[in-house]
Amino acid sequence: MKLAPEPALPAQPPAPAAWWVHLLFWALVCLTVVLSLLPVEQLPQEVHFWDKAQHALGFAGLGFLGLQVGARRPLRMWVALALLGLGIEWAQSLSGWRQGDWQDWLADLLGLVLGWLCLAMWRWLGQKMVDLR
């Protein structure tokens, strides 16, 4: 006896992120803006290493968390974070004590891509763990 194929289930929208992911995301946004606009002399020396790596790592974290917070509209979140990076560079160029740099913004964008890739891998591994049960 031949069975009829099951109808395809509609794609489920992503579940909303936990409250602590929202809190962590907004805390990281605030920390990124504050640290990006402080004079370099006032930054803790422990976190002062290669500038482009700082940008990429910071925005990788923002991308990883932001794409969970904005899971229902990931492109909108990605564009908003890219514009945040551009706005920070513009504000630095106006500050008088920091310099805005287009290469820093490119590092921000690279970080966003890395954050997205890490999130995709995280979700893939999570699904594989569920499938193993």
Q: What is the pLDDT tens value at each position of the chain, 133 positions in all? A: 566 665 555 556 667 788 999 999 999 999 999 988 888 777 777 666 677 898 999 999 999 999 999 888 989 999 999 999 999 999 999 998 888 889 999 999 999 999 999 999 998 888 888 777 7
Nearest residue to 100 (alpha-carbon basis) of 115, 121, 85, 118: 85
Q: What is the CA radius of gyration of the chain?
A: 19
Task: Give me the count of residues in the chain.
Answer: 133
Instruction: Give the per-residue pLDDT at 6.
Output: 57
Tell me the residue type at 106.
L
- CA gap 44, 46 in Å, rounded: 5
d(CA 29, CA 66): 9
- Predicted confidence at residue 52, as pLDDT, reads 87
pLDDT of residue 11: 56
